[in-house]
Structure 1
Amino acid sequence: MPDYGHDLVFGTFLTPTAKDPQQAVALAQLSERSGLDLVTFQDHPYQPAFLDTWTLLSWVAASTDRVQVAGNVLNLPLRPPAVLARASASLDLLSGGRFALGLGSGAFWDAIVAMGAPRLTPGQGVDALDEAIDIIRGIWDTDERAPLRVHGTHHHVDGAKRGPAPVRDIPVWLGAYKPRMLGLVGRKADGWLPSLGYLKPGDLAAGNARIDDAAAAAGRDPREIRRLLNLGGGSFEGSGFLQGPPDRWVEDLLPLVLEDGIATFVLGTDDPSTIAVFGEEVAPALRAAASAGRAAAGTATGAVRPVIALAKRRAGIDYDGLPASLVATAVEPGDREYARVRSSYVYSGSPGLVLRPHTAEQVSEALLFAREQDVPFAVRSGGHGISGRSTNDGGIVIDLGALDSVEVIDRQQRLVRLGAGARWGDVAAVLSPDGLAISSGDYGDVGVGGLVTAGGQGFLSRSYGLTLDHVVAADLVLADGRLVRTDAEHEPELLWAVRGAGANFGILTAVEIEAAEVGSVVYATIVYDATDTAAFVEAWADLVESSPRELTSFLTLVPARAQSPTVGYAIIVWANDDTGAAIGALEQFLDLAPVLQQQAQLVPYAATVSAPHGEHTGGADSAARGGLVEHVTPELAVLLGDLVAAGDADMVQLRAVGGAVNDLDPAATAYAHRTQNFSLLASARGSRRAQIDAWWDRLAPHLRGVYLSFETNQSPARVSEAFPPETLARIGRLKALYDPEHVFDGNFGVAPLPSEAPVPR
């Protein structure tokens, strides 16, 4: 197998001189500017003339944006493997996945022993490296719950805690020449990194053969192992190997690609001009020449997944047919990143493939690919929705997290453009310096796309309205892959539909919204003893309705547990910095029930919805039931009190949604509920899921509509409650126009309705 089809990578091998410590850093930055992909440094911890390589790697990673960094190669005898594993994962996390672990078994043993390490024979060095790789990979393997235990002759750990996990699988490259080391490369490494100056003619072919045989014996595909090569010196003058103009370099290096399988060339030089020409001229020319040679030879190219990862692929998905633009960021069940993207905030999913497009065009490609597969697909903006519909089991997830731009496009008009994958906390943080805010729920990690197309019940609802009330334009990918923009002048009916039923019409990629002039707000929390639940809830609701529009409140009721009483947790936001008016309104809430705790402070609006960017790992599947309430009557209050007392719900919540929300004509948006003053939510896990359904049957006479984001029951009856008859018919007719095949049916899907069909009653 002379050419393994790997993409070509180019880098530098720089001297970590301590005499001029900034020189190596500057050359690394030049390498990046010149278009190179990799920066490496030799590691001789016993050499006082050199900077410590690990410290230098960290400094360079922080001083660059794109290049990968690696030791070439790190001296294992002086770096304990368990510590090295944690340091490697940490640097990978801090650099955004830009670290590669080059390792060697040790050389210059007199100097190593002088630094306190035991002397090893060459054979013992191989054994020690073999054990070290097991420890390093074991530390990185956070999917395994049991503590790590490796009892080797030279390295051992006994009950070490695992983690942190790196951003992705850190490649392990071994500097190797002798047969046993080459066999270790084939069995356990991700790359072979020799130096050309230490090789004789034929050594590359012989080394590849030994590695390939060892890989095959270990059940691996030899193409999993990248072949790297350190090149010494070189000049763009004179004649000879790597001497002369760039095209001569290409002639010298091309056979190493096509005949010896080398895919990464690391040039050892500290000359700035040589680095610049290598990156700007040699690298692109060699890539073009290799591409032409591979095309002529019919060589298969692209990444090769390990056999163990291939075994985890799911039926019904044509993984090899994935569009080229999506391959690099796609995540399969066998990938390191899978644990981070498989689940939503509530639901523990196990999709067969997660696609992570970076542009609207890639979203279109992802959708068209997903439609061709024999599995369901889901769309995720932030993954926080309690309904859990942004993941699935065995299907495809289109994750919009990379479309996270936030831009004020017209400050005078307060017009803001948001990517669908942005988090609302990040939106608030960007808008805050301009004195702007968009009401957007109560948690900053929620994604823009899901919330803005369903409603958006936020801390400013009574003064600002729903989030979708202020949407003036939207960019979508339709079911057939077309990219469309909808606004007041372009397909306005589609804009109407997006504002409340958006999940039925396409994948939102960006939205434009009119923000509000909001600087600081008064944010208060009051914790009550809500033992007399019915009276408390009724009094709270009456007070909220009679309060000025500047006040919005959310009330969460938590059932009594052990010695703790039923607790009412109220968040109250006053939508400006008028502390005098706020205090006057807030003081009335202190008389509703015994107060256990209270706090009020003047903060920027962004502080009320900060985004921690927590990982979503799912949990116990829960049922969430929602409903809209015009007024909390005494009868409804009693029922809610009984529900809390029964302990059949984990929590019950009421959100104020009156005021400005109800200023709009019900026909103005697909969200048509404009008479209700509260939104009710309850959730339950496990065996109590059935009980919560029974409670909802009892509550039904007091509810007027459903809020899509708070409902896991998608029965036809619930769809009819979510959209009044006239609204549902209008959505259905538009559905027949924009999604006649009912592609988008995973989130309160409305069936297409012929244009002549009567309005359902």
Structure 2
Amino acid sequence: MPDYLHSLSFGTSITPANGKPGGAPALARLSEQLGYNLVTFQDHPYQPAFHDTWTLLTWVAAVTERIHVAPNVLSIPMRPPAVTARAAASLDLLSGGRFDLALGAGAFWDAIEAMGARRLTPGQAVDALGEAIDVMRGIWAAGERAPLRVPGTYHHVDGAKRGPAPAHDIPVWIGAYKPKMQRLIGRKGDGWLPSTFYLKPGELRTGMRIIDEAAAEVGRDPREIRRLLNVSGTFTRDGRGFLDGPGTQWVEDLLPYALEDGVSTFILASDDPASLQRFAEEVAPALREAVARERGGDGDGGGGGGGPTLRSTAIRAARRPGIAYDNVPATLASAAVEPGDAQYNRVRSTYIRGGSPGLVLRVRDAAEVADALAFAREHPDLPLGVRSGGHGISGRSTNDGGIVIDVSALNTIEVMDERTRRVRIGPGARWADVAQALAPHGWALSSGDYGGVGVGGLATAGGVGWLAREHGLTIDHLRAADIVLADGRTVHASAEENPDLFWAVRGAGANFGIVVSFEFEVDVVGDVAWAQLVFDASDTAQFLESWSAAVEAAPRDLTSNLVIGGRRRGRPVYAQVLAVVDSDDPDTVLDRLKPLAGIAPLLDQSIQIVPYAAVMANVRDGDHHGQGEPHAHSGLVEHITPEFAAEAAELIDTGAAYFFQIRSVGGAVSDVPPDATAYANRSANFSVVAFGTNASGLDQRWERLRRHFTGMYLSFETGLDPERIDIAFPGDTLTRLRALKERYDPENVFRDNFNVLGATP
């Protein structure tokens, strides 16, 4: 029989007895402390002396941190598969991907029938288990839109909603001893879980052969199927028989199972703490070393909670063309998400845009970023996206069939120096978390207007936020950055070190590398006033003029945005004006807001004195599930002139834009010289963005506004034509950026995120 070259892992099987209140959970915690990968419990719902296994698994998952939990094995005749699938996904999500599922077709039928479940013949039980697996996998396939229908004889669903998807691809292991069950494993299972104490001589090897043949018949690679084995024995000083002797004898007895039969997970069935410890300390490491030595370096005898079992045929069938999936660096393999993986639906799309990338590489440090870039360089013809928070309006952080490097795990927030208010922030942190971390110090950092935005994208593009008029853009507070360049080198950029790169990363950073760490100097900001005002803006042009005039005349401690939706028949045009006043003094706040309140009929208002962190706490937690391809245009304008206001009002009135927003800039933003950063259009007092459902309609209306603009803010532009680059950057700035691009990214690896060279997908 072959050695399937799976990495070895080790587990425990603990009796779920309820006689000792802390017994089973205590042994589970001990298993984790001893370094086991897995802890399992028998499932006998008809046995009053045992805890309910599902309840016990949940409890153990809650009181442990690393170890995987699994039944050994779940009695499927007593567990409705659709409900079980949802329970499994929930436990997997709550435990951070630490639940594995082992199933049994049923035994002890008198007891099962006594509990109200249907008695089945052995053949029926196998068929029922096959149907149950189909139901469970169908429930987990949350990315499929069609309701689940499985017209089974024993288990059927008709129109069930799918989901939730588990945190990882839950393996389905099957406990079995007869050929029909073993053939089911070959067709549908992810692992075989027998026990040495039930196997007769030769049955293990015969079962392996049957499983492999059944797998091959349906086009599966036998290496997809993990081979697990429950073992038990006695540690004694002198060898007396199989698994009855010192630790060295245990290693000798188990080694052939690994090398000759392909077993890669050994589960010790014991409730004796001393035996659990001896197995973990004497047997597991020595067996790993012996397997690695015999393999001669081919394969991995090391640990890991599951090892590099080959991805299933179904997952490999969903792979996109042009990607060398089998060449993903080993450092990234465990965190790489393919279209067929359970996690794919969580990472495919962004906040507002649907996507279908061919591979998402979730990196955890600068070295892994470099490995991911090396892999991307091997695929120069595929789209490449870089994602921090996944909020980006422009949509560049997902794609169709390409590669996405996801840096969301680089989310640390660290105070470097209290005196200088210097902080270090990872690109995957969200601005709501940053605001919350800075609040106890009485600090804040101007950082967009939505707390769910990731630091990485905003802090390399500009950062127009609620404190912009008083404290400038986010990039104006950047003091240094660590950047992984296209060739994999990590460099430090600041005013003193690599100053040209530091200049470029502040406004066009996505062209030059992936920032893995930002250093900011933050501001002292206490409680602020948060105002939300609703107006009748039926006279839209006049409203835009009046609002902009009030904002430009206001002291810098006021920053305001407005949003207008499309006109609705029979109703007035409503405008929402949002404003932050950097003051907790009521008189000052009222003085700043009165000019705004009088610009049009005021329909509703809310004014609160709150911490800045509360303003940024407008976050919807959870994964992004955007759909479609939103169409948006952006422009920077110095003043809202009567001509601009009239043409903008016409755009709104025609319905070409369902969302029209103007953000105030100016103030401190304009204090920075235009050549100080790659973000050069500093004279603009306002940033304008419009979303439309009809691309051609919005494009046509937007063209009429173009003559008023002095540039645009890249983060809100979805257009792909090369002209957008010429609009975004003044000529001298663009010339300098292109020269730096040739130096730092000569192969144009970062080609898909407003490429300054003008080459777009």
* Aligned mates of 1:252, 1:554 — CA distance in 2: 73
In structure 2, the CA distance between the partners of 1:474 and 1:198, relative to structure 1 (3 Å rule), is same
Residue 40 (structure 1) aligned with residue 47 (structure 2): no
Residue type at the aligned position of 1:10: F
Match of 1:594 in 2: 601
* Aligned mates of 1:537, 1:29 — CA distance in 2: 64
The farther-off stretch of 445-454 and 432-441 is 432-441
Q: Does structure 2 conserve the Cα–Cα contact (< 8 Å) formed by 1:345 and 1:388?
A: no
1:296 is displaced (CA, Å) by 6.5
Among 416, 440, 456, the residue aligned to 1:433: 440
Match of 1:394 in 2: 401
Residue 620 (structure 1) aligned with residue 653 (structure 2): no
SS of 2:400's equivalent? coil
Among 708, 715, 718, the residue aligned to 1:709: 715
Match of 1:258 in 2: 259
Residue type at the aligned position of 2:187: R
Match of 2:638 in 1: 630
* Aligned mates of 1:580, 1:649 — CA distance in 2: 37
The farther-off stretch of 493-502 and 244-253 is 244-253
Residue 508 (structure 1) aligned with residue 509 (structure 2): no
* Aligned mates of 1:559, 1:376 — CA distance in 2: 34
Q: Does structure 2 conserve the Cα–Cα contact (< 8 Å) formed by 1:436 and 1:516?
A: yes
SS of 2:533's equivalent? strand
1:345 is displaced (CA, Å) by 2.5
Q: Does structure 1 conserve the Cα–Cα contact (< 8 Å) formed by 2:429 and 2:454?
A: yes
1:245 is displaced (CA, Å) by 4.3
Match of 1:757 in 2: none
* Aligned mates of 2:165, 2:291 — CA distance in 1: 35
SS of 2:100's equivalent? strand
Residue 351 (structure 1) aligned with residue 357 (structure 2): yes
SS of 1:746's equivalent? coil
The farther-off stretch of 557-566 and 654-663 is 557-566
1:303 is displaced (CA, Å) by 3.0
Residue type at the aligned position of 2:507: G
For residues 154-212 of structure 1, give each alpha carbon's deviation from its aligned partner in whole angstroms, at most 9, with x where no partner exists. 33333322222212221111110112211211121111111110011211100111111
* Aligned mates of 1:693, 1:155 — CA distance in 2: 53
* Aligned mates of 2:474, 2:298 — CA distance in 1: 57
Match of 2:172 in 1: 172
Residue type at the aligned position of 1:343: S
* Aligned mates of 1:283, 1:655 — CA distance in 2: 62
SS of 1:21's equivalent? coil
1:270 is displaced (CA, Å) by 2.0
Residue 649 (structure 1) aligned with residue 657 (structure 2): yes
Q: Does structure 1 conserve the Cα–Cα contact (< 8 Å) formed by 2:534 and 2:575?
A: yes
* Aligned mates of 1:111, 1:574 — CA distance in 2: 70
1:551-700 correspondence to structure 2 within 5 Å: 551-610=558-617, 611-685=619-693, 688-700=694-706
Residue 725 (structure 1) aligned with residue 735 (structure 2): no
SS of 2:40's equivalent? strand
Q: Unmatched 5+ residue regions in structure 2?
A: 302-306
SS of 1:475's equivalent? strand
Residue type at the aligned position of 2:660: V
For residues 450-478 of structure 1, give each alpha carbon's deviation from its aligned partner in whole angstroms, at most 9, with x where no partner exists. 11000001111112211110011101111
For residues 684-709 of structure 1, give each alpha carbon's deviation from its aligned partner in whole angstroms, at most 9, with x where no partner exists. 12xx2122222232212211111111
1:376 is displaced (CA, Å) by 2.7
For residues 101-123 of structure 1, give each alpha carbon's deviation from its aligned partner in whole angstroms, at most 9, with x where no partner exists. 11112222222222222322322
In structure 2, the CA distance between the partners of 1:243 and 1:549, relative to structure 1 (3 Å rule), is farther
Match of 2:279 in 1: 278
Match of 1:234 in 2: 234
Residue type at the aligned position of 1:76: I
| TM score, norm. by length of structure 1 | 0.95
In structure 2, the CA distance between the partners of 1:716 and 1:2, relative to structure 1 (3 Å rule), is closer
Residue 156 (structure 1) aligned with residue 162 (structure 2): no
For residues 119-149 of structure 1, give each alpha carbon's deviation from its aligned partner in whole angstroms, at most 9, with x where no partner exists. 2232232222222222222222223333333
1:299 is displaced (CA, Å) by 9.6
* Aligned mates of 1:375, 1:651 — CA distance in 2: 32
Q: Does structure 2 conserve the Cα–Cα contact (< 8 Å) formed by 1:236 and 1:242?
A: no
Q: Does structure 2 conserve the Cα–Cα contact (< 8 Å) formed by 1:236 and 1:274?
A: no
The farther-off stretch of 309-318 and 632-641 is 309-318
In structure 2, the CA distance between the partners of 1:408 and 1:54, relative to structure 1 (3 Å rule), is same
In structure 2, the CA distance between the partners of 1:728 and 1:160, relative to structure 1 (3 Å rule), is closer
* Aligned mates of 2:707, 2:297 — CA distance in 1: 73
1:430 is displaced (CA, Å) by 2.2
Match of 1:67 in 2: 67
Residue type at the aligned position of 1:274: S
Among 316, 336, 339, the residue aligned to 1:330: 336
1:233 is displaced (CA, Å) by 3.6
1:353 is displaced (CA, Å) by 1.4
* Aligned mates of 1:237, 1:564 — CA distance in 2: 89
Q: Does structure 2 conserve the Cα–Cα contact (< 8 Å) formed by 1:629 and 1:703?
A: yes
Residue type at the aligned position of 1:462: R
In structure 2, the CA distance between the partners of 1:604 and 1:362, relative to structure 1 (3 Å rule), is same
The farther-off stretch of 252-261 and 402-411 is 402-411
1:726 is displaced (CA, Å) by 2.5
In structure 2, the CA distance between the partners of 1:148 and 1:351, relative to structure 1 (3 Å rule), is closer
* Aligned mates of 1:649, 1:385 — CA distance in 2: 19
Q: Unmatched 5+ residue regions in structure 1?
A: 753-761
Q: Percent identity?
A: 59
| TM score, norm. by length of structure 2 | 0.95
SS of 2:605's equivalent? strand
Residue type at the aligned position of 2:285: P
* Aligned mates of 2:424, 2:443 — CA distance in 1: 13
Q: Does structure 1 conserve the Cα–Cα contact (< 8 Å) formed by 2:389 and 2:428?
A: yes
1:481 is displaced (CA, Å) by 0.9
Q: Does structure 1 conserve the Cα–Cα contact (< 8 Å) formed by 2:131 and 2:152?
A: yes
SS of 2:580's equivalent? strand
* Aligned mates of 1:283, 1:424 — CA distance in 2: 45
SS of 1:180's equivalent? helix
Residue type at the aligned position of 1:255: P
1:423 is displaced (CA, Å) by 1.6
* Aligned mates of 1:94, 1:377 — CA distance in 2: 32
Q: Does structure 2 conserve the Cα–Cα contact (< 8 Å) formed by 1:551 and 1:575?
A: yes
SS of 1:99's equivalent? coil
Q: Does structure 2 conserve the Cα–Cα contact (< 8 Å) formed by 1:35 and 1:280?
A: no
* Aligned mates of 1:253, 1:519 — CA distance in 2: 65
Match of 1:183 in 2: 183
In structure 2, the CA distance between the partners of 1:276 and 1:668, relative to structure 1 (3 Å rule), is farther
1:728-743 correspondence to structure 2 within 5 Å: 728-743=734-749
Residue type at the aligned position of 1:587: K
Number of aligned positions between the proteins: 750
SS of 1:186's equivalent? helix
1:297 is displaced (CA, Å) by 7.0
* Aligned mates of 1:178, 1:35 — CA distance in 2: 33
Match of 1:755 in 2: none
* Aligned mates of 1:52, 1:383 — CA distance in 2: 40
Residue 469 (structure 1) aligned with residue 476 (structure 2): yes
Match of 1:223 in 2: 223
C-alpha RMSD of the superposition: 2.0
Residue type at the aligned position of 2:603: L
SS of 2:751's equivalent? coil
The farther-off stretch of 6-15 and 124-133 is 124-133
For residues 18-37 of structure 1, give each alpha carbon's deviation from its aligned partner in whole angstroms, at most 9, with x where no partner exists. 12222221221221122211
1:287 is displaced (CA, Å) by 2.1
Residue type at the aligned position of 1:720: D
The farther-off stretch of 586-595 and 193-202 is 586-595
The farther-off stretch of 56-65 and 28-37 is 28-37
In structure 2, the CA distance between the partners of 1:712 and 1:149, relative to structure 1 (3 Å rule), is closer
The farther-off stretch of 302-311 and 45-54 is 302-311
Match of 2:453 in 1: 446
Q: Does structure 1 conserve the Cα–Cα contact (< 8 Å) formed by 2:25 and 2:60?
A: yes
Residue type at the aligned position of 2:121: T
In structure 2, the CA distance between the partners of 1:235 and 1:521, relative to structure 1 (3 Å rule), is farther
Residue 293 (structure 1) aligned with residue 294 (structure 2): yes
SS of 1:129's equivalent? helix
Residue 98 (structure 1) aligned with residue 105 (structure 2): no
Among 373, 376, 387, the residue aligned to 1:370: 376
